[in-house]
Amino acid sequence: MLVSINPQVGAVSGNYATRFHNFMAALHSVATCAAGGTPTAVNPVNSSTGVKDTGFNCITVLSNTEAGGWTSGFSTNITASTAYNASASSLIVDLYQASGKASAPWLRQTFGNFSYGFNSGSFDSYHHLQYYQGHTTASNNPATIAYNGTDSGNYTNGTTASVRPTGAYTSYSNYFPVNIVEHSQIYVAVTASYLIIVTPIDIAYYGIRDQAGWELTRSDNPAWCAFGYTTNQSAYYQVSSYRHIEYCWAYMAGIYPDGSQTSASKRGSQIDANSSSGEHKIAGSNGGGRNSSTGMRSLFPIAAAVGGQWSSYPSIWTPESPITDPVTGLTVPPAYPIIFNWSESGYSASGQVPGIYKGMTTTAAGLTQFASASEYVIAGTSYVPVRTGNTSYPDLFLLRKA
């Protein structure tokens, strides 16, 4: 399933609360939709009346060949049919599916406005989407236990999940992904293997990476991985000057050359918004190679890291060239697989993530010139190009048209 969600469609949802409601309802509709089905329409809430406008639908379907692939969990309290409530507290979309791993049987993703409800008086200031993505143990069955239930110390505190809300959220909320209420086009790609949210300035990825044979035999290592980052609309995004958050996490066991294995755990790192400088966790320190504070190799270059302080020193900008398609002879943007590759103390683990490729890094004008098609075929599968990051130097990704 690949869709575009517009929480502002029809210009009737004039405040952040109604747009947040619209997006959450659409996310649930898409993630739980059957293969070949049409997601239940999400009519935008008229912020003047609190009533849904049936003349518009927030969801535009780009492809529905595959199902959204997720089941609605115990904590979900919003669907396409949920009436708008201006006094609501947290709106929650709770999603789960079986992991196939006996000791960690549930993959789980939980989205919401956990810190501030509409009724708090502070929602307009703290309106970014908050989320947990990872897995839970048998004692926390998502069908019957709330997301902050019996083993919340592992899930909501990050032992078995990726980025989660922290105290820095209230001080630097504008530097947290994902901003879903200030944009009119948000891509959501979701199947049983991944869920991807892309806005013009944010990306949040969660997927089940490829596993080697030795990993498949284990029962304790659900192979989820996640990454995400955002840019600040009002400032250049530089590693040494501006606050931001980005993360790169994977749940992995490791293997030594002699075949012996390590225990499974969450591996990777993140930059918190309360730090005004630091390494790039996705691309490595200042743009490439291995991140010195973690065993995770860089996933891919991002515009901010490759360029460094390009607003002051544009000569260090290193754009990539387009390539020639050997089948069609056309000039096209390159497509790079995203691989989580961890190595430490002689052992390693790795796997490619599904549903997405990293495209070329260049200027906005360069992408307009070299990535102008509405979709591209990569290894026999169609992908849709999307941009995110800084508006002047955006990052290109290619989302699978499933």
Q: How far apart are CA 346 and CA 257, in angstroms?
A: 8
Residues 356, 383, single domain; the answer is yes
Q: Return the pLDDT at 279.
A: 59
pLDDT per residue as tens digits for the range 140-173: 999 999 999 866 678 998 899 997 777 778 887 7
What is the helix (H) or strand (E) element at residue 171, kind and residue range? helix 168-171
Given pLDDT bands bounded at 50, 70 and 90, which one contains residue 310?
very low
Residue 290: DSSP 8-state: B
Any domain includes 77: yes
Q: How far apart are CA 4 and CA 14, in angstroms?
A: 19
pLDDT per residue as tens digits for the range 43-57: 999 999 999 999 999
Given pLDDT bands bounded at 50, 70 and 90, which one contains residue 257?
very high
Q: Return the pLDDT at 402.
A: 95
Residues 270, 316, single domain; the answer is yes
> Among the listed ranges 20-34, 91-105, 271-285, which one has the minimum average pLDDT value?
271-285
Asked if pLDDT for residue 312 goes beyond 60, the answer is: no
- Of the three residues 140, 167, 192, the one that is the final residue of a domain is 192
Which carries the bigger pLDDT value, residue 392 or residue 182? 182
Q: Return the pLDDT at 219.
A: 96
Q: Return the pLDDT at 86.
A: 95
In 3-state terms, what secondary structure has residue 72? strand
Residues 147, 237, single domain; the answer is no
The answer to whether 37 and 73 are in contact (CB under 8 A) is: no
pLDDT per residue as tens digits for the range 319-357: 678 888 888 888 888 999 999 999 988 999 999 999 999
Any domain includes 41: yes
pLDDT per residue as tens digits for the range 218-248: 999 999 999 998 876 444 444 444 566 788 9
Any domain includes 219: yes
Residues 170, 248, single domain; the answer is no
Query: What is the residue range of 178's domain?
Result: 1-192
Give, rounded to a whole angstrom, the gap between the first and last alpha carbons of the chain.
Answer: 5
Residues 9, 144, single domain; the answer is yes
Any domain includes 201: no
Which carries the bigger pLDDT value, residue 310 or residue 364? 364
Share of the chain above pLDDT 90, in %: 65
Residue 283 corresponds to which tokens in the numbers above?
């691309």
Q: Return the pLDDT at 81.
A: 97
